[in-house]
Amino acid sequence: MTLTELIKVMVLKNMKREKFLTVLSVIGVALGIGLFTGVKAASDKAISSFEADIRGTNPYTNFEILDTAGTDFQEEIYRTVRKIAQNSFPVLKVEGYLPEIKSAIDIQGIDLIRTAGFLKLSPGRGSSFENYFRGLNSAIITRAFASSHSLKRGDIARAFVYDKEFSLRVSDIVDDASLPSNIFLMDLGNFQEYFGKTGYLTRIDAEADETTVSEIKKILPPSLSIGKKEAAIRNQKSLIKSFRYNLQFVSLIAILVGIFLLYNTIFISVVKRRTEIGILRGLGASKKTVVLIFMIQGLILGIAGSMLGILIGQVTAYFSVTAVEKTITSMYRAVSITDYFIPKTDIALALALGVLVSLIASAAPSFEAARIRPNESTREGTFEGGHRRMRRAYALAGLVLIALGCAVSYIDYHSMPYDFPFLAYAGILFIIFGFTLLSPSYLSLVLSGLGRPVEKLFTSVGVITVGDIKGSVYRFSVALMSVAISSALIFALLTLIFSFRNSLKAWINKNIAADVYVKPASCRSNFCFFPLSDELIKTVEGMPEVAGVDRFRTLQIDFQGRKVVAGFGDREIRRRSGDVGLAEEERRAERDFGTDRIIGVSKFLGIKFDLKVGDTVELRTPRGVQKFVVYDIFSSYSTTSGFVYLDRKWLMKYWGLDDATQFAVYLRKGADVPAFISRINEILRPRFSLSITNNAQLREHVLSIFDRTFAITYAIELISIIVSLIGVINTLLALVIEKKREITILRYLGGSWGQIRAKLVLSAGIVGVTGIFLGGIMGPLMSVIFIEVINKVSFGWEIHFHIPFYYLSIVTAVLFLITLSAGLIPLNVAKGVDPKRLISFE
């Protein structure tokens, strides 16, 4: 008999016979792989959009000249630069927002004639290019953006740009995959004139070698710097690296549960067919053949799972793109992802993952099958017997792994040897594997303690069930671990989310104290970088009910060699307006340190640069390097790339700026806030497009950003729960399939279906209770690692541990009920068995 025929008989026929189990396994694997692939594709698209933005309209240039604070600069310098580097191109850019189609856009003014050679702009279309130059508000957009928002040539789009409203006319549509999909290309001159930015540039792209770069450096003022585009791309990628890997890690846990599921299915095939394997071995099949048969079964299931996973991944990617896009827009800067198709490389990755998952899952049962001796075919209990002998060794190995998991996580917490919490992630995996190895001993221990009460409570069914579980501890441990991992993940993520939310609320109470907050409607991120008109601020300051306006300016500055967001606020205004808490803190610090050159740094930077209060840091400013004393290391939930806070007086002194990118308004006591907002809307709306919120709305908005950020985590959690529940059903079903003959014997001995149902539900209940309890130990342990290590190393967010007992008890009850009902599904399988056939089989 050839191997193919053997596979047909031993694998395919069996899969057909156990359709439900096969389908469950495939779905379980598919969900894990789909989730992983979808999340990966979505975050990769965001990264590509970053990369496309930096490479932008001049993809063949390798250097860029930027203002060190990220502001626009005077264009005169371009003439000098061009003399040194012929291939240099000026760019003026701004982020805009199209309210009708609710999309953030990236408007770039370029020298089209010089850039056209690099871009695929098909200059053959003379007429449309003419329109492009003629119309002051004409813009070229990408085919991807036009298709996804149904825009065509000649359409006019209302756009919020800077702090005003404009209209943009689509003069042409181009196919160029290297451009960011949400780009609106305008002629540089038109851009400057239309948006009132005459004489300004945002960056200069240059194609240069090291000698040319040295020449350029010589002529640049201190406020400008030239850097490699590659470095900028790396920097941008590193910004969302943590966000991306954290999502992928959680989806990896779903794959882990999928491995359990597949392992279980293959394992069942082995246990169920011991006799057949024994006969095969007796007929001369080698151990290698037996291993191959079961590995191939695993591969078939794994590959089928991957293929379905790719479809699920595509759906996941579609929804993840929106969530990732919104999160990155809030946390970093506006991105728009119009392409959500999984690339070929990810399809290959999904298939490779499927193969890997199936190999991992089927290895142990396949080798177990190969160990079956021809004369062993009727000795069914030998399998559990073998593991029973190994239980102590398993438990010991489990304890060692758990200790190792805690130890490596602690190393990450204490020393942070890497930029990314690899050790903590490894620690979580060690802990999961450790508990898996420990679970048989744990179950035995629980049964020896709970056995008697269960037997008393459930009388004869209790005795039979406890006896059965005691006899199949290893098998039941697999089911138990499915529930345990699922509940641990729920406990850990719920604890993380609620702890985070509570900490955020405390932060809101401390920091959001003004009555009204104003920022440009074009700004979709937490921090805005484009200055507001002076006229606007003056108008507000002049209103009678206003006690003070805290003009807030954000810049992107160089902090110890890293690009971070710097916020400049007006302490005196806050103090005068009654928001004394923070202002007093700063004054006290000035007294303590004997200097007013103080700076607050976010915890993220504190951790990254090992900073303590009282340390001195250096900031690179247009007026040279300046030293400041760290007076506060605070939590900043607004960004994950690091944030520093300084008083406004330093903005003028060292950056030569006195503008604001957003501002907070303090009203006089007794002023009617809604009436004030209506009034400024009335006065300002015709000329400006602004986002105006009152204190409560901003608080609500911050929390809604939080919920949006975690939306994808909720989705991952939900899918992980589904995979785990499939795992529970699969395991219980597998147990029934494995125990069909035992159920039949019980029927012969007079066991009623009611008693068998009670036994199955009680088994499921015991699995549920013990699994949830173990999850209750693993979950908090995982949440401590999530909060204290992974979160700190990745984002530097300070999160105060808060266990949401109320929600956890609801989730626990729901999980328990679902596990119980999972116990009912296998009953139908058991009922479908013809007892006579099973007993007479032998």
Partner 1 sequence: MVTLEGVQKYYGTAHVLKGVDLKLGKGEFVAVTGSSGSGKSTLLNIIGGMDRPDAGKIFVDRNEISSYDDEKLTLYRRKKIGFVFQFFNLLPNITVIENVRIPLLLNGSRDEEMAHAFVSRVGLEGREDSYPHELSGGEQQRVAIARALVHDPDIILADEPTGSLDSSTGRAIMGLLTRLREETGKTILLVTHEEYISRYASRVLKIRDGIIRQ
Q: Which of 27, 119, 8, 5 is nearest to 729 (CA)?
A: 27
- Identity of the residue, 704 or 752, whose beta carbon is nearer to partner 1 in the bound complex: 752
Q: Which stretch binds partner 1 (CB under 8 A): 178-186, 234-242, 373-381, 480-488?
A: 373-381
Contact 753, 291 (CB under 8 A): no
Angle formed by the axes of helices 229-272 and 695-738, nearest 10°: 30
Site string for partner 1, 377-396 (x = CB under 8 A): -xxxxx-xx-----------
Task: From 196-204, 568-576, 740-748, 820-828, give the range in contact with partner 1 by CB under 8 A.
Answer: 740-748
Q: How far is the CB of 467 from partner 1 (least distance, A)?
A: 5
Q: Which stretch binds partner 1 (CB under 8 A): 29-37, 399-407, 481-489, 739-747?
A: 739-747
Residue 375 interacting with partner 1 (CB under 8 A):
no
600 bridge partner residues? 632, 645
421-450 residues near partner 1, rule: CB under 8 A: none
Please choose, out of 138-146, 203-211, 285-293, 743-751, the segment that lies near partner 1 by the rule CB under 8 A. Answer: 743-751
Q: Which stretch binds partner 1 (CB under 8 A): 187-195, 231-239, 372-380, 700-708?
A: 372-380
Nearer to partner 1, 463 or 673 (CB): 463
Q: What is the DSSP string of 414-440?
A: HH--SSS-HHHHHHHHHHHHHHHHHHH
Alpha carbon 315 to chain centroid distance?
16
| Residue 167 vs 752, nearer CB to partner 1 | 752
* Nearest-approach distance from CB 736 to partner 1, in angstroms: 14
Write down the least CB distance from residue 757 to partner 1, Å. 13
Nearer to partner 1 (CB atom), residue 399 or residue 745: 745
* Residue 835 in the binding site for partner 1 (CB under 8 A): yes
DSSP 341: P
> Taking CB under 8 A as the rule, does residue 745 contact partner 1?
yes
- Provide the CA 180 distance to its chain's centre, in angstroms: 22
Among candidate residues 521, 632, 636, 537, the one with its CA nearest the CA of residue 583:
632
If the CB atoms of residues 472 and 783 are measured against partner 1, the closer one turns out to be 472
Distance (Å, whole) CA 49 – CA 365: 45
- Minimum distance between the CB of residue 462 and partner 1, rounded to whole angstroms? 9
Q: Is 842 in the site for partner 1 (CB under 8 A)?
A: yes
Among 60, 341, 714, 748, binds partner 1 (CB under 8 A): 748
Q: State the helix-helix crossing angle for 229-272 and 473-511, rounded to 10 degrees.
A: 150
Cα–Cα distance for residue pair 636/555, rounded to 1 Å: 16
- The encoded tokens of residue 781 equal 């342990």
Of 423-431, 436-444, 561-569, 749-757, the window that binds partner 1 (rule: CB under 8 A) is 749-757
Distance CA(350)–CA(36), nearest Å, equals 8
The single residue among 747, 768, 796, 830 that binds partner 1, judged by CB under 8 A, is 747
Stretch of 97-105, 548-556, 742-750, 779-787 lying at the interface with partner 1 (CB under 8 A):
742-750
Q: Which residue has the tokens 């009335």?
A: 682
Residue 379 sits at φ, ψ, to 5 deg, of: -95, 80
How many Å apart are CA 285 and CA 277, to the nearest integer? 9
Give yes or no for residue 460 binding partner 1 (CB under 8 A). Answer: yes
Nearest CB to partner 1, comparing residues 426 and 463: 463
199 vs 386, which CB is nearer to partner 1?
386
Binding track over 579-618 against partner 1, x by CB under 8 A: ----------------------------------------
Among 341, 418, 714, 753, binds partner 1 (CB under 8 A): 753
Beta bridge partners of 228: 63
Helix, strand, or coil (residue 624): strand
- Amino acid letter at 52? A
H/E segment holding residue 756: helix 753-784
Taking the C-alpha atoms of residue 466 and residue 353, their distance in angstroms, rounded to an integer, is 38
Is residue 750 near partner 1 by the rule CB under 8 A? yes
Residue 26 CB, shortest distance to partner 1, in Å, is: 29
Q: Report the candidate in 469, 470, 279, 246 with the shortest Cα–Cα distance to residue 374.
A: 279
Part in contact with partner 1 (CB under 8 A); list of ranges 374-382, 398-406, 617-625, 787-795: 374-382
C-alpha–C-alpha distance, residues 778 and 780, integer Å = 6
276 belongs to the binding site for partner 1 (CB under 8 A): no
In the list 99, 189, 343, 471, the residue contacting partner 1 (rule: CB under 8 A) is 471
Phi and psi of 160, rounded to 5°? -90, 120
Q: Which of 225, 595, 626, 755 binds partner 1 (CB under 8 A)?
A: 755
Contacting partner 1 within 228-247 (CB under 8 A): none
Q: Does 746 bind partner 1 (CB under 8 A)?
A: yes
Site residue total, partner 1 (CB under 8 A): 34
Instruction: Considering the complex, state which of residue 748 and residue 805 has its C-beta at the smaller distance from partner 1.
Output: 748
Q: Which helix H or strand E contains 520, and what residues bound it?
A: strand 516-520
Choose between 744 and 770: whose C-beta lies nearer to partner 1.
Answer: 744
Q: DSSP alpha helices (H): ranges in 135-228? A: 143-148, 188-194, 210-219
Stretch that binds partner 1, among 413-421, 500-508, 634-642, 738-746 (CB under 8 A): 738-746
691 in helix, strand or coil? strand
Residue number, 98 or 743, with CB nearest to partner 1:
743
Of 219-227, 327-335, 457-465, 612-620, the segment contacting partner 1 by CB under 8 A is: 457-465
What string of DSSP letters covers 236-273? HHHHHHHHHHHHHHHHHHHHHHHHHHHHHHHHHHHHHT
For the chain, the farthest-separated pair of C-alpha atoms sits apart, in whole angstroms, at 99
Interface of this chain with partner 1, residues 781 to 810, rule: CB under 8 A: none
Q: How far is the CB of 384 from partner 1 (least distance, A)?
A: 5
Q: Is 472 in the site for partner 1 (CB under 8 A)?
A: yes
Residues 6+ apart with CB under 8 A from 117: none
- Helices 382-415, 422-471: axis angle to 10 degrees equals 160
Give the residue with the Cβ less far from partner 1, 311 or 839. 839
Binding of residue 741 to partner 1 (CB under 8 A): yes
Are residues 64 and 205 in contact, defined by beta-carbon separation less than 8 angstroms?
Answer: yes
Does residue 594 come out as left (phi exceeding 0), alpha (psi in the -120 to 50 range) or beta?
left
Extended beta strands in 560-623, E state: 562-569, 598-602, 616-621
| Residue range at the interface with partner 1 (CB under 8 A); choices 180-188, 424-432, 527-535, 745-753 | 745-753
Minimum Å gap between C-beta 478 and partner 1 is 14
Toward partner 1, which CB reaches closer, 745 or 824? 745
Segment interacting with partner 1 (CB under 8 A) among 81-89, 251-259, 436-444, 462-470: 462-470
Q: Which residues contact 539 (CB under 8 A, 6 or more apart)?
A: 680, 683, 684
- State which of residues 470, 501, 597, 668 lies at the interface with partner 1 (CB under 8 A): 470
Q: How far apart are the first and last CA of the chain?
A: 24
CB of 413 to partner 1, least distance (A): 43
Distance, in Å, from the CA atom of 687 to the CA atom of 693, rounded to the nearest integer, reads: 18
Least spacing, CB of residue 387 vs partner 1, in Å: 11
Q: Tell me: does residue 836 bind partner 1 (CB under 8 A).
A: yes
Query: What three-state secondary structure class fits 513?
Result: coil
- Could you say whether residue 464 binds partner 1 (CB under 8 A)? yes
Residue 459 binds to partner 1 (criterion: CB under 8 A)? yes
Residue 177 CB contacts under 8 Å (≥ 6 apart), including other chains: none
* Residues of this chain that bind partner 1 (CB under 8 A): 378-382, 384-385, 459-461, 463-464, 467-468, 470-472, 741-742, 745-753, 755, 835-836, 839-840, 842
